[in-house]
Amino acid sequence: MREGWPAPSEEAAAVITAGVSLVGEVPPEWFDEFNDAALSAVRLDEIAGDAVLVDAVRRTNEANLAQWASYNVEHPGARVPVRDDSGVGADMVREMVRRGLDAGILDAFRTAQSVAWRRWMEICFTLTDDVAVLREVLDVTLLSIAAFIDDTVTALAEQIAVARAQLAGDTHAERRAAVALLLEGAPIDDARAESQLHYRITGPQTAVVLSGAGMSMSRLEAVCDSIMAANHLGRRLTVLTGNDRMWVWFPAAGLIVDEKQVPAGMRVAVGMSGDGREGFRRSHFQALTAEQTLVRLGSARRVVRYGDLALIGAISEDRRVVDDFVAQTLGDLAGADPELRECLRVWFAEQCNSTSTAARLFTHRNTVVRRLARAEELLPAGLSGNAISVAAALEVARWME
């Protein structure tokens, strides 16, 4: 015990020990409340839609809680040492600094502390009826919790300062800045962007997002190498966006990705191929959407393509995602004669029966057959194996008109 730090009585120490032993048995709703409080802190609402960062915040919060509780089992009411943040805490710092967040994120720990304290008091009130002992327990544990949070915030603030300095001097910073401008749709000249990136943004583009908690960068790079070999490619653009996460662009109109080459725990999300600057942007956002959808689903799949999850992703509040789903699924049919889309939509509704479709549209069956044939010609992938997505896109497009 440090000099000047109050030592609890035997009775108070016994209550503290009993209380922390119950922390791991609290209802899951308590942990949800604890984490939600952190995510409601100033500026953290900016990352609420990023499943990777939200998970990092949750893991850091719960690791801090476990650190305080486990230390108090052996040292009731003591000043708890800060965790070794070479793990999830450091990951969170790096990810948030790369996204432009600063020490303001540390408000999350203050907010979470108030929730943890309230729940801790509830536990303590169930363990003793002795008012004097209860007062002592609350006094000493409040001091312990507050000191632990203060020390944690100080340590993380130092890590943030170091991470920001490292980012400023990162040799990849110029590349990331050019990519950010392209993704934002800024009017950066193609020649200047290509000079900074050492990569051509003209021609075919297919974007990939690789991620894996705890995966080394070398393992991510090895998967990229296998993709290049399988597709006979000689170059790629790589942007590091985390300790175990990267964005990659390949100059390819299609991409073979062998799931057997992807280790367990890693995700490879692939956007649809596009062309030029717009294809560069769209394919990347599609890869991000596919990755986030996979995370929301809790899937263990290692490789996912945007087209595989586009229908699920379209069930979204993001209008851009919905527009993209309709455009990619319907292709030229989206801008064709509305009669063609309506004929195909009704045909689906009539269980693919041309005769009943003709009756519903008050036209001849031969007309329906011709319209269906023309509509299928305009679809990027036809109807075979894609009928469900086409039917959904037609229904969405109907309400968007």
Instruction: Provide the CATH number for the domain around residue 262.
Output: 3.30.70
Q: Which residue positions in the chain have pLDDT lower than 50?
A: 1-2, 86
pLDDT at 1: 44
Whether 320 maps to a domain, the answer reads no
What range does the domain containing 258 cover? 173-315
Rounded distance between C-alpha atoms, residue 351 and residue 360, angstroms: 12
Q: Are residues 263 and 384 in the same domain?
A: no
Asked which of 168, 200, 219 is the last residue of a domain, the reply is: 168
Q: Is there a contact between 35 and 53 (Cβ–Cβ < 8 Å)?
A: no
Asked which of 168, 195, 223 is the last residue of a domain, the reply is: 168
β-bridge pairing 267-270 and 237-242: unpaired
pLDDT at 292: 84
Residues 6+ apart with CB under 8 A from 231: 250, 252, 255, 256
Q: Are residues 157 and 188 in the same domain?
A: no
Q: Are residues 36 and 142 in the same domain?
A: yes
Backbone angles phi, psi at 209, to 5 degrees: -115, 120
Rounded distance between C-alpha atoms, residue 311 and residue 299, angstroms: 16
Backbone angles phi, psi at 387, to 5 degrees: -65, -40
Q: Are residues 271 and 288 in the same domain?
A: yes
CATH number at residue 46: 1.10.490
Residues 6+ apart with CB under 8 A from 118: none
Q: Are residues 284 and 308 in the same domain?
A: yes
Backbone angles phi, psi at 247, to 5 degrees: -105, 140
Buried b / exposed e along 124-161 (16+ C-beta atoms within 10 A)? beebbeeeebbebbbebbeebbeebbeebbebbeebbe
Q: Are residues 16 and 147 in the same domain?
A: yes
Q: Are residues 134 and 245 in the same domain?
A: no
Whether 4 maps to a domain, the answer reads no
Q: Are residues 342 and 376 in the same domain?
A: yes
Q: Are residues 190 and 306 in the same domain?
A: yes
Q: Are residues 339 and 271 in the same domain?
A: no
Q: Are residues 130 and 267 in the same domain?
A: no
Number of domains, the chain: 3
Rounded distance between C-alpha atoms, residue 293 and residue 50, angstroms: 11
Rounded distance between C-alpha atoms, residue 218 and residue 185, angstroms: 31
Is the pTM higher than 0.75? no
| pLDDT tens-place string over residues 7-43 | 899 999 999 999 988 887 777 788 788 777 777 765 5
pLDDT at 359: 94
Asked which of 315, 337, 366 is the last residue of a domain, the reply is: 315
From residue 13, how far is each of 4, 26, 141 by CA, in Å? Answer: 17, 20, 10
Rounded distance between C-alpha atoms, residue 71 and residue 63, angstroms: 12
Whether 333 maps to a domain, the answer reads yes
Whether 323 maps to a domain, the answer reads no
Whether 290 maps to a domain, the answer reads yes
| pLDDT tens-place string over residues 90-135 | 666 766 665 556 666 677 777 778 888 888 998 999 999 999 999 9
Residues 6+ apart with CB under 8 A from 216: 244
Q: Are residues 388 and 342 in the same domain?
A: yes
Rounded distance between C-alpha atoms, residue 155 and residue 162, angstroms: 11
88-98 and 51-74 helices, crossing angle to 10°: 150
